[in-house]
Amino acid sequence: MTPLQLFLQQLANGLTLGAIYALIALGYTMVYGVIQLINFAHGEIFVLGAYAALTVVLTLGGTGVSWGVLLAACAVAAMGWCAVIGVAIERVAYRPLRGAPRLNPFITAIGMSFFLQNAIMLVYGATDRQFPNPLPLLRWETGGVTITLMQVLVWVSSAALMVGLQWLVMATRLGKAMRATAQDLTACALLGLPVNRIIAVTFAIGSALAAIGGLLFGLSYGTINFHDGYLIGLKAFTAAVLGGIGNIPGAMIGGLVLGLLEGLGAGYLSAQWKNVFAFVVLVLILLCKPTGLLGERVAERA
């Protein structure tokens, strides 16, 4: 393996993790965009998505359906379930606090995160669960770089979801309403926009994206645990800040950059220093550009 081949391979590895971070980061950034809340329970939504997908895999796995159908069923079930939970959390925990000082929903979000994490532990158990991967173990070698079907699936599905989200936000009436709500919630309400419904839809979309993140994470790494949401959620939140919180393309780029930093850090420096490396770069970027890579939106609000 030549140094160039190794570099390209590590690039591919980093992009896979980065794509998953990006999907989860979108939920943080969308919610922050509309109601300026860091939804700390979002990492748990991601784990819920993974467990929902696992349930489907275990239920349908033995029935002889093709892996394509199986994955589609997983995706639909996980997205639907997480969207419902996301909306329910917003309705129960955040909406009653709309208009309260910003610290209150923030603390509620942390409480929600603890609640969900323990609920997941009680339902699914405290031990690591194996996540069977129905995908055939296909791999392609091009120029000494190995790409697996799993990696292609992660890239293609996350790219498609990101393009779809961008289209939804920029080119539809719903997207326009979401952007308007993000700019000025009170004015939108005065103009007769159903702001509560728009916020609920934002939670639903963000949670559904995290669910796909959970599905891809489970498939890629093969195990899932109730406390996985903490670390992955923290990383995805970091990615959202790195890209500029509140900015949708920023979250995508932030996720990819963080994944690449970790991959290259582990591959070239040392695995035990990869988080340090990733976070040092994060601090440097934020020192030079406090609003994140694409963070004009925050400045505009301030």
What are the φ and ψ backbone dihedral angles of 182, each rounded to 5 degrees? -65, -35
Interface residue with other proteins among 88, 100, 110, 122 (CB under 8 A) is: 122
Q: How many residues bind other proteins (CB under 8 A)?
A: 40
* Contact between 142 and other proteins per CB under 8 A: no
* Contact between 277 and other proteins per CB under 8 A: no
Q: How far is the CB of 167 from other proteins (least distance, A)?
A: 30
* Contact between 152 and other proteins per CB under 8 A: no
Closest-CA residue to 155 (of 78, 220, 207) = 220
**Sign of the dihedral defined by the CA atoms of residues 205, 211, 215, 217, in that order:** positive
Interface residue with other proteins among 37, 201, 209, 264 (CB under 8 A) is: 264
* Contact between 16 and other proteins per CB under 8 A: yes
Cα–Cα distance, 207 to 138 (Å, whole number)? 30
* Contact between 147 and other proteins per CB under 8 A: no
* Contact between 138 and other proteins per CB under 8 A: no
Q: How far is the CB of 226 from other proteins (least distance, A)?
A: 9
- Positions 39 through 98 that interact with other proteins (CB under 8 A): none
What angle is formed at CA 27 by the lines to CA 98 and CA 154, rounded to 5 degrees? 170
* Contact between 146 and other proteins per CB under 8 A: yes
Q: Residue 160 corresponds to which amino acid?
A: A
* Contact between 186 and other proteins per CB under 8 A: no
**Of 248 and 266, which has the nearer Cβ to other proteins?**
266
Interface residue with other proteins among 4, 100, 119, 231 (CB under 8 A) is: 231
Assigned token pair, 241: 């800040």
* Contact between 271 and other proteins per CB under 8 A: yes
- CA dist 217 → 22, 91, 282 (Å): 12, 28, 23
94, 113 contact by CB (below 8 A)? no
* Contact between 13 and other proteins per CB under 8 A: yes
Interface residue with other proteins among 73, 174, 267, 277 (CB under 8 A) is: 267
Cα–Cα distance, 108 to 214 (Å, whole number)? 23
* Contact between 128 and other proteins per CB under 8 A: yes
State how beta strands 223-224 and 129-130 pair: antiparallel
In 23-44, which positions are buried (b, 16+ CB within 10 angstroms) versus exposed (e)? bbbbbbbbbbbbbbbbbbbbbb
Closest-CA residue to 238 (of 213, 261, 218, 219) = 261
163, 207 contact by CB (below 8 A)? no
* Contact between 268 and other proteins per CB under 8 A: yes
**Of 167 and 268, which has the nearer Cβ to other proteins?**
268
Stretch that binds other proteins, among 9-17, 67-75, 168-176, 249-257 (CB under 8 A): 9-17
* Contact between 217 and other proteins per CB under 8 A: yes
3-state secondary structure of 192: coil
Cα–Cα distance, 239 to 29 (Å, whole number)? 9
Q: How far is the CB of 181 from other proteins (least distance, A)?
A: 35
Interacting residues toward other proteins by CB under 8 A: 1, 6, 9-10, 13-14, 16-17, 121-122, 125-128, 130, 139, 146, 148, 150, 217, 220-223, 225, 227-228, 231, 262-268, 270-272, 274-275
